[in-house]
Structure 1
Amino acid sequence: MANATATAAAQAKAAKAKATKLAKILRQRNNERSAKFFAAAMVGIMVIFILIHWTRIAFKTYERRSSGKATFLRFPVRVTRAARSVLVRKLPLFPSTGHALVFVGYLAATITVTFTKMDWSTPLNNLGKRLGWISVANLGLVTFLALKNTPLAFLTAYSYERLNVLHRIAGYSLIVSMILHTTIYLAGDIRQGKLSNLREDDQVVGIIAGFLMLLSVALAVLVRKMRYEIFYVTHVVLFIVIMILVGMHRPDFAKKTVIGVIVIGSLWFADRVIRSLRTLFFSFGNTATLTPLSHGGTRVVLRKSPGRAVSGTHCFLWIPGVRALESHPFTITSTKPLELVVAAYDGFTRDLHAAAVKNPGQTLKASIDGPYGNIPNFANFTKVVLIAGGSGASFTVGIAIDLLRKLGTSQTTTIEFIWTVREPEMLEWFSEQLKELTDSPLVNVRLFSTRGSTSDSTLVSSSDEEKNSSTDPLPSSKNEHDIEKQLASPISSTDMVFSPQGGRPDIAAIVDEIAEKAEDNDRIAVAACGPDSLMQVTRSTVAKNIKVNGPSIELHVEQFGW
C-alpha cells in the first residue's frame, strides 16, 4: 500500500514537472512570437507607406501625361487630397497628424503583442518576461530607424532624418517597456521571496543596462539641443555598451534573446562600415577650401563629390584638420563643385569658422559621406514656393538655382523665393545666386530682415517691394542654428548687397494668394527650411489650401533639429 502511494506521488510529481516544463516551453515560444509579430507589424506599417508612395507617383505621372484629363482619377485624387489636408497639419508633440497616426498604429501593435497569448498563472513574472521581449524588439526598431543606409529612403522617400522623430518616439517607448519589465519582474520576485536573484551576474548587468538607457534618454532631453556633439558621442558609446550588457543579461542562445541582440548590433555595425568605406573612398585626393562669410558663415568648396549629389540633399563633412574624429551633416547648395555654406553655432561649426577666419582660402584634407535625403523633382510642378528662415536658405537657394538650370528656356515653372534673415549682411552669403534669381523672369524674390544693418554699406534693392505684415515670429540666433545641418553656397560678390524689407513675411497670406490665383490644373510645390515657428505656419497654411477641387499642392519640409 505504501509502495503504491509513493509510486502515485512520484508519478504526480513527474506529471507536474512535465506540465511545468511544457508551460515554460509554451511561454518561451509565445514570447518569441510576440517579438516576431511586433517586427511583422512594423514591416506592415512600412509596406503601407511604400504602397501609398508609389501609388501616388503612378497617379501623378499618369495625370501629368494626360494633362489632367484622366476623369477616372478624380475620385481617388479627391480622397487623397481630403486625407492629406488633415495629415500634414501640425499636432502637439508631433510634426504632423500623419506622424501621430503612425504612432497610434505603433502603440496599438505594441499593446496587442504584449498581452496576446499571455500566461496569467503567475502574472507578474510572465508579464515581466514578455515586456523584456518587447523591450528587445523596440531596441531593434530604434536601431533600424537610426541607420543611414536602409531601403526606406528609396522605397518611401523618407530618409533617416525624416524618420528621426519616430526613432525618438520608439526610444521613449523602449524606456517605458524597460521600466515596466524591471518593476513588474521585481514585484514578482518580492512576492515570491526571491530578491536574492538580483545578485546574479546576468541580473546585475541587466540592471546596469536599464540605468544606462535612462541616462541616454536624459542626455537626449537635456543635452541634445545645448551641446549636440556631447550628446551624439555619449549616445553612440552608451548604445554600444547597452547592446553588450543586454546580450550578457540573457546570454543563453537557446532562449534566442542574445541572437536578436547580435542581429541588431550587426545591422548597426554594417551601417557604420558602409559609411566609413564611403568616407575613405572620397578622401583620396579630396580637399576643402574654406572662406569666411559675414555673421559666422563659412563657405566650403570640395574638390571631389559623389555623382548622386543633388542640391537640397545633405552629406556628412569630415575635415580632420578641424576635428579629426567628427563628421557633421550639411545641406548641399551646389554640386559642380560641391559647395556648402555652414552657419557657425558651436563645436565643429564654430571651429570651422575660426579656421576660415584665421587663414581665408586655405585648403584642408576633407571627405564626405552621402548624399542623404530625398528631394522632389520640382521641374514637374508649375509653381514652386521656396521659404527659408536664416541659414535655411542653404536648402532653398540650391533648389532654386538647380531648378532654373534644369528649366533652361522652358517657361512651364515659376518660382516664388522667400528668405528671412536677422541682419541684411547675411544676404551676402548668396549674393551671386540671388542676382541670378532676380535676373530670371521665372523668379519672384522676396527678402526680409528682422533687424537693421550692422554696417554702413549702401544697399541696392532687389526684392519685391510689396509689404507684408508678419504672423510668423522667428526664433533667436541660438535656436536658429540648433542643427548642424546648415549648409552651403558660394561666397557673395562684395559689390552686390541686397536690401530686404523690414520685419517678417506673412507666409500664410503669401501662400494663400498663390493658391487662390492658381488654375485647377496647376501643380504647386511648397518647400521650406527653417525654425519650428516658420515650419508650423507653413504646414498649417498648406494644409488649409489642399482642397478637393483646385490646384494640386505638395509640401516638403526640411526642419532644423535632429
Structure 2
Amino acid sequence: MRAGALSLVALTLATILSIRPIRNIAFEFFLISHIVLIMIFLIAGYNHAQIGYYGSYIWPALFVWGLDRFIRLARVIWNNGTFRRKRDPSQSLATVELLSEDTILMSLKRRDFSWSPSQHAYVILPTISNLPFESHPFTIASIADKVDGTQRKEEERDVVFLVKGCNGFTKRLRDHASTHRMGTVPAYLDGPYGCPPDLRVFSTCIFVAGGSGISYTLPLFLNLIRENARGGRSAVRRILFIWALRDENLLPWFSKTLTEALPHAKSSLSIDSRVYLTAPPINTSCSSASTVSGKSDSAVKTTTVRSPVDYHPYIKLSPGRPDIRRVLHDEISACTDGGSLSVDVAGPTGLTAAVRRALSSDAAGPRAVLKGLPAITLHVETFGMST
C-alpha cells in the first residue's frame, strides 16, 4: 500500500508539473522532474502490483524504456565515432557563432551522419549543460546532400542548427557565443528523428516561417531546388518562401544560402522569396567610457541599416507583418494548372493560427475544391514541447 500511494503521488505531481505555464517558465525543471517522477511511478507501481501478481503489466514498460535508452546511447557512440581508430578530433566539436542578439548558428562536421530535410536531432553539449548527458532537440537547418544535385560520398556534411537563445540551456549557449563570438564547444549528436513530408508530389509549395522557424522550412526549400537541379521526380513548378523576423542581422546568412542554392535551379522552377521585418532596425549609436591608469578611452558603436541591394536580388524585403490571408488566397487563386498545393508553416503560435484560419475560410476550405481550386495540404511544425 505504501508503494501504491507513492506511485500515485508521483504520477499526480508529474501531471501537475506538466501544465503549459510551468513548462514555459521552467522547462528544464519540468523535464528533469518528469523523468524522475515517472521512474518512481513505474518502480513503485510494479512493487505495488506484484503482490497481486500483476507486475507483468508494468515491467514491460521499464524494459521498453531501458531498450530505448540503450539504442540511443549506441546511436550517439556511432554518430560521433567515439571508439573509432581513425577518429577526426574535429567531429567532436561544434562551431558556435552569434548571428544576432538572441540567435546562434551552431554547425558540426559529420562524415557518417545522414538525415532527411527538416528532421531534428538531439544535441549534447557537456560544457554548456548542467548535466553531462543533457540533450536538447533542434531542427537541422541544412540538407545532407549538395544543392547542385550531386551526392556526398566520403565528404563531411555540415549539420547546421539555428538556435534562439531564451532561457536555461539556450541562454547559456547564447552567453557563451556572445563571449567568444565564434568558438568551438564539445558536441555530440543523437538522431536523426522525425518524419518530414515529401513535397515532390505538389505543383506549388508555400513556406511560411517566423523567426527560427526557418530551420524547418529552409531545408525543405533547398531540397526542392536540389531535386529540380538533378532532374528528379518532382512535380513542383512554383515555390513561395515567406520569412517574418525581427532582427535584420539574420539576413546576410540567409542571403548567402540563397546565393549558393538558386543558381542550380532550372528556369522551369518559379521561386518567390519574401522577407518581412516585423521590427525594422533603427540607426542607433551608443558611447561608453572607461578609465585606465587615469586616462579616458571612449568608443562609439554604430548600427547601420542595410539597403535591400546588399542582399540577394531574389529577396523581396518588406516592413511589417505579412498579410497571411491575402498572400495565401492570391496563391491559391493563381494555381490553375490542376495540381495540388502544399503549405508548410513553422513559427510562433499566432503565425500558425493565422495560417489555419486563412486555409479554413470559404476561399480556401473544402468548398473551394468543389469550385475548381486546388486541393491544399497543410503541414505545421511547432517549436518544441514548451509551446
Q: Identify the residue that residue 240 of structure 1 maps to in structure 2.
A: 39
Contact 2:245 2:276 in 1 (8 A): yes
Of residues 40, 52, 75, the one that matches 1:278 is 75
Q: Identify the residue that residue 241 of structure 2 maps to in structure 1.
A: 417
Q: Give the C-alpha shift of residue 305 in structure 1.
A: 5.8
Matches within 5 A, 1:141-160: none
Counting helix residues as a fraction of each chain, which structure ranks higher? 1
Distance 1:431 1:227, change over 3 A: farther
Contact 2:273 2:316 in 1 (8 A): no
1:318 aligns with 2:124: yes
Q: Give the C-alpha shift of residue 264 in structure 1.
A: 1.1
Cα distance in 1, alignment partners of residues 230 and 123 from structure 2: 35
**1:506 partner letter:** D
Deviation string for 1:349-379 (max 9, x for gaps)?
1122222232243233321111111122222
1:504 aligns with 2:303: no
Cα distance in 1, alignment partners of residues 230 and 335 from structure 2: 22
Matches within 5 A, 1:261-272: 261-272=58-69
Cα distance in 1, alignment partners of residues 348 and 138 from structure 2: 16
Matches within 5 A, 1:174-213: 203-213=1-11
**2:351 partner letter:** L
Q: Give the C-alpha shift of residue 499 in structure 1.
A: 7.4
Q: Identify the residue that residue 352 of structure 2 maps to in structure 1.
A: 535
Contact 1:423 1:454 in 2 (8 A): no
Contact 2:79 2:113 in 1 (8 A): no
Q: Give the C-alpha shift of residue 306 in structure 1.
A: 5.3
Cα distance in 2, alignment partners of residues 543 and 305 from structure 1: 44
1:303 aligns with 2:109: yes
Cα distance in 2, alignment partners of residues 250 and 511 from structure 1: 55
Q: Give the C-alpha shift of residue 344 in structure 1.
A: 0.7
**1:217 partner letter:** T
Cα distance in 2, alignment partners of residues 404 and 500 from structure 1: 21
**2:345 partner letter:** A
Cα distance in 1, alignment partners of residues 113 and 198 from structure 2: 17
Q: Tell me, what secondary structure is at the counterpart of 2:101?
A: helix
Cα distance in 1, alignment partners of residues 77 and 185 from structure 2: 15
**2:124 partner letter:** W
Contact 1:288 1:365 in 2 (8 A): yes
Cα distance in 2, alignment partners of residues 500 and 425 from structure 1: 13
Contact 1:507 1:537 in 2 (8 A): yes
Computed over aligned residues only, the root mean square deviation of the Cα atoms, in angstroms, reads 2.3
**2:135 partner letter:** S
Distance 1:505 1:205, change over 3 A: same
Q: Tell me, what secondary structure is at the counterpart of 2:276?
A: strand
Cα distance in 1, alignment partners of residues 282 and 62 from structure 2: 52
Cα distance in 2, alignment partners of residues 451 and 357 from structure 1: 22
Cα distance in 1, alignment partners of residues 304 and 261 from structure 2: 22
Q: Tell me, what secondary structure is at the counterpart of 1:505?
A: coil
Deviation string for 1:208-229 (max 9, x for gaps)?
2212212111211142111111
1:405 aligns with 2:226: yes
Contact 1:460 1:499 in 2 (8 A): no
Q: Tell me, what secondary structure is at the counterpart of 2:384?
A: coil
Q: Tell me, what secondary structure is at the counterpart of 1:220?
A: coil
Question: Which residues of structure 2 form unaligned runs of 5+?
Answer: 82-86, 145-156, 284-302
Cα distance in 2, alignment partners of residues 272 and 445 from structure 1: 42
Distance 1:274 1:400, change over 3 A: same
Distance 1:327 1:225, change over 3 A: same
Cα distance in 1, alignment partners of residues 101 and 311 from structure 2: 17
Cα distance in 2, alignment partners of residues 309 and 264 from structure 1: 29
Matches within 5 A, 1:422-461: 422-435=246-259, 442-455=270-283, 456-461=303-308
Distance 1:305 1:388, change over 3 A: farther
Of residues 3, 14, 17, the one that matches 1:219 is 17
Q: Tell me, what secondary structure is at the counterpart of 2:343?
A: strand
Q: Identify the residue that residue 128 of structure 1 maps to in structure 2.
A: none
Cα distance in 2, alignment partners of residues 515 and 295 from structure 1: 37
Distance 1:294 1:530, change over 3 A: same
Contact 1:448 1:501 in 2 (8 A): yes
Cα distance in 2, alignment partners of residues 512 and 451 from structure 1: 25
Q: Give the C-alpha shift of residue 459 in structure 1.
A: 2.4
1:328 aligns with 2:136: yes
TM-score (normalizing by structure 2):
0.78
Q: Tell me, what secondary structure is at the counterpart of 1:561?
A: coil
Cα distance in 1, alignment partners of residues 78 and 262 from structure 2: 39
Q: Identify the residue that residue 188 of structure 2 maps to in structure 1.
A: 367
Contact 1:309 1:371 in 2 (8 A): yes
Contact 2:205 2:236 in 1 (8 A): no
Counting strand residues as a fraction of each chain, which structure ranks higher? 2
Matches within 5 A, 1:63-74: none
Contact 1:344 1:350 in 2 (8 A): yes
Contact 2:163 2:170 in 1 (8 A): yes
Q: Give the C-alpha shift of residue 412 in structure 1.
A: 4.4
Q: Tell me, what secondary structure is at the counterpart of 1:379?
A: coil
**2:382 partner letter:** Q
Cα distance in 1, alignment partners of residues 111 and 47 from structure 2: 43
Cα distance in 2, alignment partners of residues 348 and 309 from structure 1: 24
Contact 1:425 1:454 in 2 (8 A): no
Contact 2:100 2:247 in 1 (8 A): no
Q: Identify the residue that residue 354 of structure 1 maps to in structure 2.
A: 175
Matches within 5 A, 1:42-191: none
Q: Tell me, what secondary structure is at the counterpart of 2:127?
A: coil
Question: Which residues of structure 1 form unaligned runs of 5+?
Answer: 1-202, 463-494
Distance 1:305 1:243, change over 3 A: farther
Q: Give the C-alpha shift of residue 256 in structure 1.
A: 4.4
Of residues 200, 204, 208, the one that matches 1:387 is 208
Cα distance in 2, alignment partners of residues 436 and 454 from structure 1: 29
Cα distance in 2, alignment partners of residues 214 and 305 from structure 1: 45
Highest Rg: 1 or 2?
A: 1
Deviation string for 1:364-420 (max 9, x for gaps)?
332111111112222222111000111111111222122212211769421101111
Q: Identify the residue that residue 517 of structure 1 maps to in structure 2.
A: 334
Q: Give the C-alpha shift of residue 448 in structure 1.
A: 0.9
Q: Give the C-alpha shift of residue 518 in structure 1.
A: 1.1
**2:133 partner letter:** L
**1:260 partner letter:** Y
